[in-house]
Amino acid sequence: MKPLLHEACRARPLLGDGAMGTQLMLAGLEQGACGEAWNLARPDKVLAIQRAYVEAGSECLLTNTFGGSRIMLHRHGQDGDAAALNAAAVRIARQAFGHEAGYVIGDIGPFGGLMEPYGEFTEARVREAFEEQAAALVTAGADAIIIETQTSLEELGIGIAAALAAGARCVIGSLAYDVTLDGSTFRTMMGVEPERAAEFMAARGAHIAALNCGTGMDMGRAREAVLRYQRAGGLPVMAQPNAGQPRLVNMKVVYDETPEQMAAGARPLLEAGVNVLGACCGSTPEHIRALRRVLDSFRAGREKPASEMAETRRGAQA
């Protein structure tokens, strides 16, 4: 049996995948349509995207369930299919790995609203939606659950609790940070800073602290977040920065960071101790392939043959 994700990534850094939403749109999904519905309606399209990531070197795949909670699916008239869509997503990701022992991470994104007293959604309704989604993902065989693109600790806490209640063997909490206007720091839209988030996740029983998406959060800022997480929480860290900043070109959102540019920032992240490295919005299998090359080089440098390590020690003692 393969080790738990949070144990495996402590032993050596692992490579995640890249964006799903932008890849679905390139595959023909209409803007604003329900990408999760393709888990049942067009599984071949989802499988092709995830197989491309595996072929590029991904060792971890997020399921196509970012908007897979009953609340999000209700907006598309798909809420009755919540359990089936989530279960299908796990099967597709597992199929994408083929005979490889990769990690399937069940993806739970924001429910897309505000809870009382600021919005119309009760905490109980959000909890029920997350519990249903987490249970479907775990029952289908997900190796881990990620509660991602979070901006408030309240919603993040509900998601972590739902994943733990469902029996998830590894729970990841991931926040989306925005760089402040003066460029001095970054925090979530709701004002949460990395140290507070790391402490919160550790206290709530999460196994990995993560970051993804966010305005201005390039590879350099992601490295800073990794270091701040480590100092505050002590959990393994996962980083999934965007492929640059979005621009509107001919009424389409385009991300401007090339695979080579993203790869240039990967080694400092690895040297900072990131445990799982992937990418978020705008990234492609080519971005992941470029990160794979850097990760392989980094691993080779760390995993020297025993004879070479002994020679190094003798030299240091001389």
Predicted pLDDT at 287: 98
Q: How far apart are CA 265 and CA 100, in angstroms?
A: 28
How would you classify the pairing of strands 186-187 and 276-277? Answer: unpaired
Residues 6+ apart with CB under 8 A from 61: 16, 17, 50, 53, 54, 93, 96, 97, 102, 103, 104, 105
Q: How far apart are CA 199 and CA 228, in angstroms?
A: 11
Question: How many domains are there within the chain?
Answer: 1
pTM: 0.93
Find where tokens 């089936």 sit: 84
Predicted pLDDT at 256: 83
Residues 6+ apart with CB under 8 A from 84: 40, 136
CA torsion 108-218-286-298 (nearest 10°) is -100
Determine the length of the chain: 318
We report the CATH number of the domain holding residue 119 as: 3.20.20.330
Predicted pLDDT at 280: 94
Domain that holds residue 193: 5-317
pLDDT less than 50: residues of the chain: 306-318
* Residue ranges in the chain assigned as alpha helix (H): 5-11, 21-26, 38-41, 43-56, 70-74, 82-97, 123-139, 153-165, 194-203, 219-233, 259-264, 266-271, 285-302, 306-317
At 58 the three-state DSSP class reads coil
Q: Tokens for 154, please give them.
A: 């309240």
Between CA 157 and CA 89, with CA 17 as vertex, the angle to 5 degrees is 70
Q: Tokens for 81, please give them.
A: 């299919």
Q: How far apart are CA 57 and CA 265, in angstroms?
A: 18
For residue 253, what are the CA distances in angstroms to 110, 244, 246?
21, 12, 6
Find where tokens 């990967």 sit: 266
Question: C-alpha 77: how far from its chain's center?
Answer: 26
Q: Tokens for 204, please give them.
A: 């709530």
Predicted pLDDT at 304: 58
Predicted pLDDT at 314: 43
Nearest alpha carbon to residue 41 among 84, 93, 73, 83: 84
First to last CA, the chain: 43
Is 289:283 a contact under the CB 8 Å cutoff?
Answer: no
Q: Tokens for 152, please give them.
A: 């408030």
